[in-house]
Amino acid sequence: MSISPIITFKAGLCNLNTATDPPRVKPLPEPGYIYLYSEDSEDGLVHFCWRQRSASLDNPGLKLVMVPGDGSFTPYKATSSQTPSNPNKPTNGRIYVLKFSSSSQRHLFWLQSRSQHESSDPAWFSARDLKLGQIVNTLLQGEDIDVQQAIANLPNDQNGPDRDDDDATMEDVEGQNHDADHHRGGSGGAGPDATGGDVREEGQEAREGGADGGRAATTGSTDASSIIQNFLKSMEGSKAGQSNPQGNLFTTLADLLTPASTIPLIDSADESVIDRFLEFLPPTLLALAQEIDDAAAVSTDALSADAAKQAIGLEQKKDILRRVLRSPQFSQSLSSLTVALRDGGLPSISEALSIPVTNGGFMRRGGVPLGGGDAVEAFLNGVKEHVKSNSQAKK
Amino acid sequence: MSEDASAGGWSTIESDEGVFTFLIEQLGVKDIQFEELVQLDSDSIRALSPVYGVIFLFKYIGSSTTSTSNPQDGTFDPAAVDSDAGFFFAAQTIQNACGTQAILSIILNNDPSNPSLQPSSTINIGQELRSFKDFTRGFPSELLGEALSNSSLIRETHNSFARSSPFANETQQDPAARTEDVFHFIGYTVRNDILYELDGLQPYPISHGPCTTDEFADKIIPVLLKRTSRYPPEEVRFNLMAVCRDLRIKAQEIGDVEALARQKRKRTAWEWENALRRHNFVGFIGEMLKGVVELKLEHGGEAEYQRWVEEAKKTTEKRMTESQARRKGEAGDEMQE
């Protein structure tokens, strides 16, 4: 028999542990697809299936024959434009629940495609995500729907395919404890026999939202910071893969980003570039710098103080950046990030910063991340290639 | 080392007057600040009055008092806590918490329960600490120490000031980190007109004799000098901080505009440092790296880029060899002894 799925999209299974209160959702890392089809030989009943990506269509891990109207496929405690600040967020991913009116059976799934949210809130259901779920739900109701057309009308993917094919991963985050083990799934298209597939880019590593000991997330790359924050925390106390004297020493970020190298960057930058840099710093710095200057201005002649304030807009911003680049806090962060790279953090870091590196930061054989000086070198090379391809694009 | 904050771990924090001041402010303490003393003389302390005590930070070279009979200077006062229910003396249970613990030993002993203070001069410790103190009233010092390390309010506030990098010393191969020196904090304060040394690693508060709050600035000096003389001068790293009333208030009271401005600027600087301390620089580092690479390539192409990298590599190598040589040399010295 040949199975022609009506709709296919990337999703993973979840375990729901109802023994605890609140119930605990645990996403299973295996990359997979949800797909629905109806068999002509049966009375047009819809088959709701889940299979591993590597499995064939007629070998699903889960297959449910759905009576029309019995099943529903809805977002589980979702964060979306309808509930943007969801206080009941169960996880840092997008979960759908398949429920039955005929029984209390429930199946939870997590979307494995990339989050569409602007700042990549991994729990955010985009319009596209919601619509996808609605299509499935409609099919389960037994309603007539031109799936092909509905899929064609799905809101578009905001973020273009500019990265390596990576699956979304997720950590179960009910409560405080979380699994700091970042799962990495294999990639793979929807397969030649999938129709109506979700052609979106595979999603990225899921992020931990603000669960890092209460430190404020920053503007700019909020999620990059969270990933790395958690990675660093998970490394505290472990000196795995530390200095390896026989290997490639290479250099450190601190030795590369000395004030001698960074200050000229600030000096030569124009206002738009400076403003962009400032987005990666705490916004309070600007206000504080203003305060310092105000205090100083009090003692000078009123007229010239005002004029000074107007004129030093850009210069003041540059001053802030220069001060930051010379600060002990910045130096410490450079050291910290260097150690993180050396200790196997290259895959997470390069991904979080959207800087592609060879093999995604892994060694050619096996899923072991690069370490030591090699990792730092690979990182720098990634930056260089990124910069080069960007300037090509500009031309 | 420190575990995940949510699992009950305490991070290391810097012993910085700004950090300590903001820390107690976060805990609800009113109008108190920390001021580093660069000179050990009574005038410097008196200039900050009212001073509630000092925090002495030093490199701890192991318990020089293993017996419980006599401390090296002063005398144990086991009765101090027994006769005075408001006397706060906690045993230190967590190394990383010792700074915060020393701070609290001064703050909590100078609240309205301290008979040495005029009612108008006592510290307003705020509601949360008041509850904590009430709850732990009558606890023996070990239990008090446990209560302190288990207090999520205190621990979380403490951890919120952790260094932006847990690995600051490792890559730089800081010699101080190598020898695994343990730093220790001790508080000195006046209570019941006695000058007390409050050290969480000692079994009891240590009395250094009668002393009123007015006499503190004078009497503390010889006590501290004796303490610092215990250590070989080349191995001493110590730091002294006074716990005093918010200096902006003092400046305002006497109409010292210049001093007020100075204190305000200092606060702004502390806030600046704290903002950076809490900031996650990863995104910013990414931008800087991209920017510098782009600048090098634009400026002088591949050649300039390579020059930059080579120079960095040389610096790293040089530092590595120097520190290895230093270690060998020191190891050699040790072996000869």
pLDDT of residue A215: 37
φ, ψ for residue A258 (rounded to 5)?
-75, 160
* Average pLDDT for chain A: 71
* Helix (H/G/I), strand (E/B), else coil: A166: coil
Q: List Cβ neighbours of A153 (8 Å cut-off, separation of 6 or more).
A: A131
Looking at beta carbons, which residues of chain B come within 8 Å of A278? Answer: none
| Contact: A280, B283; criterion CB under 8 Å | yes
Is B104 or A87 the better-scoring residue by pLDDT? B104
Residue with the two structure tokens 């434009």: A81
> Span A106-127, mean pLDDT?
73
pLDDT of residue A120: 54
CA distance A357 to A351: 9
Which of B6, B288, B294 lies nearest to residue A387, judging by beta carbons?
B294
- Exposed, middle or buried by CB within 10 Å (0-12, 13-18, 19+), for A18? exposed
Least Cα distance to A49 among A41, B133, A40, A39 occurs for A39
Q: What is the DSSP string of A267-295?
A: HH--HHHHHHHHTTS-THHHHHHHHHHHH
| Contact: B276, A324; criterion CB under 8 Å | yes
pLDDT of residue A156: 60
Decide if pLDDT at A74 tops 50: yes
Q: List Cβ neighbours of B166 (8 Å cut-off, separation of 6 or more).
A: A232, A236, A336, B1, B2, B11, B12
Cα of A247 to nearest chain B Cα, Å: 13
CA distance A93 to A77: 11
CA distance A117 to A328: 34
Which two structure tokens, joined as six digits, stand for A100?
């039955």
Most B CBs within 10 Å, among A174, A288, A342, A351, to test the B interface: A288
Q: What is the ipTM of this complex?
A: 0.79
Tell me, yes or no, if the pTM score tops 0.80.
no
CA distance A186 to A192: 17
Q: Judge whether B184 counts as a catalytic residue.
A: yes
Bridge-based pairing state of the strands A124-125 and A79-80: parallel
| pLDDT tens readout for residues B239-282 | 899 999 999 998 998 888 999 999 999 999 999 999 999 888 99
The secondary structure element, H or E, covering residue B281 is none
Looking at beta carbons, which residues of chain A come within 8 Å of B260? Answer: none
Q: Judge whether B208 counts as a catalytic residue.
A: no
Most B CBs within 10 Å, among A330, A331, A392, to test the B interface: A330
Q: List Cβ neighbours of B119 (8 Å cut-off, separation of 6 or more).
A: B112
Cα of A297 to nearest chain B Cα, Å: 11
- Exposed, middle or buried by CB within 10 Å (0-12, 13-18, 19+), for B173? middle
φ, ψ for residue A40 (rounded to 5)?
-65, -35
Report yes or no: B297 at the A interface, CB cutoff 8 Å.
yes
Least Cα distance to B10 among B204, B154, B185 occurs for B154
pLDDT of residue A36: 87
| Contact: B289, A284; criterion CB under 8 Å | no
Q: List Cβ neighbours of B300 (8 Å cut-off, separation of 6 or more).
A: B307
Least Cα distance to B243 among B137, B117, B79 occurs for B117
Give the B window 143-172 contacts with A, CB below 8 Å. 156, 159-160, 162-168, 170-172
Decide if pLDDT at B172 tops 50: no
| Contact: B163, A257; criterion CB under 8 Å | no
Report yes or no: B273 at the A interface, CB cutoff 8 Å.
yes
Partnered with residue B262 across adjacent β-strands are: none
φ, ψ for residue A305 (rounded to 5)?
-60, -45
Do A208 and A201 meet the contact criterion of CB atoms below 8 Å apart? Answer: no
Instruction: Work out whether the CA dihedral B282, B288, B292, B295 comes out positive or negative.
Output: positive
Q: Nearest-CA residue of chain A relative to B309?
A: A256
pLDDT of residue B30: 95
Q: List Cβ neighbours of B291 (8 Å cut-off, separation of 6 or more).
A: A262, A265, A269, A273, A277
| Contact: A250, B316; criterion CB under 8 Å | yes
What whole-number percentage of chain B has pLDDT above 90?
Answer: 56
Lowest mean pLDDT among A69-73, A194-198, A323-327, B327-331: A194-198
Least Cα distance to A354 among A395, A385, A393, A321 occurs for A385
CA angle B297, B301, B305 (to 5 degrees): 65
Which two structure tokens, joined as six digits, stand for B87?
């006397």
Q: Nearest-CA residue of chain A relative to B4?
A: A233
Which of A177, A215, A264 lies nearest to residue B278, judging by beta carbons?
A215
| Contact: A384, B297; criterion CB under 8 Å | yes
pLDDT of residue B201: 87
Q: How many residues does chain A have?
A: 395
Lowest mean pLDDT among A65-69, A255-259, A274-278: A65-69
CA distance A265 to B297: 12
CA distance B263 to A295: 11
Least Cα distance to A236 among B185, B273, B159, B183 occurs for B159
pLDDT of residue A141: 81
Decide if pLDDT at A42 tops 80: no
Of B158, B184, B208, B244, catalytic:
B184
Report yes or no: B221 at the A interface, CB cutoff 8 Å.
no
| pLDDT tens readout for residues B127-165 | 999 999 999 998 999 999 999 999 999 999 999 888 765
| Contact: A264, B295; criterion CB under 8 Å | yes
Which of A250, A329, A383 lies nearest to residue B290, judging by beta carbons?
A383
Q: Residue B173 — pLDDT band, cuts 50, 70, 90?
A: very low
How many Cα neighbours within 13 Å face the side chain of A162? 10
